[in-house]
Chain A
């Protein structure tokens, strides 16, 4: 997303060449692979595609598992993101900048390393292994482990969306509400939430896409057991390893469709955010910190009002 540039200077020929180069790069690196997912998935017709998706019990289970793990992880991150953004954007306290840099750690760490760390805590030989066994609770190779790993990798997404927005809006409206006698939850539901709702939704959409697609961390903690702990991306890999590429492509096409819908929703929300900030006179759209936003699936928004 960026503001419309005014074209000046260079010759039309140079401009055309530059545009062609940009289309060739994005086309070759991104569009051709994306298009081929759908072509390959539908190569044997829609009936075969549907059979691969709906008639394979392990694939059905993987779809169901993804649809249950991702929302829970996203819900955790929504609560965490709102709380953490409120803390960091509205209060000054010692250790604040250190805390903010901790929010970024999941972006920097390899998902495989994150998965391993979770195994070292909750696995049978892990720190809490004996305790969990005594309680007969299973985290690794099971649903809670999937949720933990997914929550870890998506941790920064919501909070990083909210901090710049809450900073840009400032605490004045909330201070006014408090001075008029509003309680904490009233301030949150009536003042803060309406102000941050689009940014929050943006963060949730991005976190959901990442949660649906997470592979490395989930691969490590899940034990990738077909029909039990395989999520959709793991199922894609399993089918591929079994030389069932068409079926693998069919599942991949579902994931790719989710990704495309995510991008469309993201685009629409970004337009809303833009519009809303233009309404707030004199306030520039919030600019994400590029280091963070770009490590995630978010993209830095406009730098110029």
Chain B
């Protein structure tokens, strides 16, 4: 997208900013080019921002990567690719993908209802979706582990049915769904709100069934947003520690996720291994960040 096309967005009409990446939505009106000469504070704000970003973001991550690089390729692989680490990546990825898929599906339903239907309690439901964002993850982990044990509120019905929701991989998925659900809802909701309903009505008038309309008209339009929600839920789940550590039981090779392994290596003062595993996780999350950015551009283009 060029700066010129950003200018054409009418300020008084529908704003598409939240489908645009930040940079695109900010790009320049000609008048703003004068600011640097007129408005004060460039030096001060630049110094504060530069200092904080360097000290808090760039330096720590650079040190992490350099520490891992100092192991050498063979040393890095030996540290990052042990059988236990491989098992931890598998549990992390498996549980996160499952949780992101469940969150995206459930989130789509919730987003649809919130965006399309007016009913008593809609505002309350809308606010409740934010709870996992504000509730400390340790609280979520604690509660989920007590809910699904044999004597817990839900466990007493589910355990006899053979569903072990605590100290199991299923438990990891459950708590990750809690943690990641708001992302899936909040990314899709505004896109459904901005959908042009005329297209759907046209499809119905032309004889398409409800399901056909959904799969042929609605889904293609919201798919980039759903995928973005999936990627964000996945990113959040991959890095999650606080809630999982309560519910998973942290059994090596079975329910140990990568962040838990990093911590336990660190507690054994095995810095090299902890760092190597952290770098693998870091690369995964930065890769996901890139994917999210690409998807965001697709969302923006679809909204045009």
Q: Which of B72-80, B81-89, B137-145 contacts A (4 or more CB under 8 A)?
A: B137-145
B177 within 8 A of A: yes
Q: Which of A175, A233, A259, A293 contacts B35 (CB 8 A)?
A: A175
Q: In this assembly, does B60 line the interface, its C-beta being within 8 Å of a C-beta of chain A? A: yes
User: Known: A116-B262, A213-B136, A303-B14. Contact between A294 and B117, CB under 8 A?
Assistant: no
Which residues 188-215 in A have Cβ within 8 Å of B in the complex?
Answer: 188, 206, 209, 212-215
B133 at the interface (CB under 8 A from A): yes
Alpha-carbon distance A117/B183, docked complex (angstroms): 26
B38 touches A287 (CB 8 A): no
Quick check: A36 and B147 within 8 Å, CB to CB?
yes
Is A275 an interface residue when CB atoms closer than 8 A count as contact? no
Say yes or no: is B23 at the interface (Cβ < 8 Å to chain A): yes
Shortest A195–chain B CB gap in Å is 14
Tell whether, in the assembled complex, residue A22 and residue B45 are in contact, meaning their CB atoms are under 8 Å apart: no
Q: Within 8 Å CB of B60, what residues of A?
A: 114, 117-118, 120-121, 152
Say yes or no: is B253 at the interface (Cβ < 8 Å to chain A): no
- Give Cα A31 to B53, complex, Å: 38
A145 CB–B CB distance under 8 Å: no
Interface residues of B in 122-169 (CB under 8 A from A): 122, 125-140, 142-147, 153-154
Identify which of A45-53, A104-112, A130-138 touches chain B.
Answer: A104-112
> Which among B14, B110, B242 has the highest number of chain A CB atoms within 10 Å?
B242
A2 vs B146: C-alpha distance when bound (angstroms)? 34
A152-B126 Cα distance, complex, nearest whole Å:
29
B221 is an interface residue with CB less than 8 A from chain A:
no
**B58 CB–A CB distance under 8 Å:** yes
B205 → chain A, closest Cβ, in Å?
12
A-B contacts counted at CB < 8 A amount to 395
B202 on the A face (CB < 8 A): no
Decide: B135 and A109 in contact? CB cutoff 8 A: no
Contact status A263-B130, CB under 8 Å: yes
User: What are 13 of the A-B contact pairs (CB < 8 Å)?
Assistant: A15-B119, A29-B181, A84-B45, A110-B259, A110-B285, A116-B275, A216-B259, A220-B263, A245-B142, A289-B18, A289-B25, A300-B189, A303-B14
Interface residues of B (CB under 8 A from A): 11-23, 25-26, 28, 32-36, 38-42, 44-46, 48-49, 52-53, 56-61, 63-64, 67, 106, 109-110, 112-119, 121-122, 125-140, 142-147, 153-154, 177-178, 181-183, 186-187, 189-190, 193-194, 197, 200-201, 210, 225, 228-229, 232, 235-236, 238-242, 245-246, 259, 262-263, 266, 271, 274-275, 278, 281-282, 285-286, 288-289, 292-293, 296
Chain A interface residues toward B at CB < 8 A: 1-10, 15, 18-19, 21-23, 25-26, 29-34, 36-37, 40, 76, 79-80, 83-84, 86-93, 96-97, 99-106, 108-114, 116-121, 125-127, 148, 151-152, 155, 163-164, 167, 171, 174-175, 178-179, 183-184, 187-188, 206, 209, 212-216, 219-220, 232-234, 236-237, 240, 245, 248-249, 252, 255-256, 259-260, 262-263, 266-267, 282-305
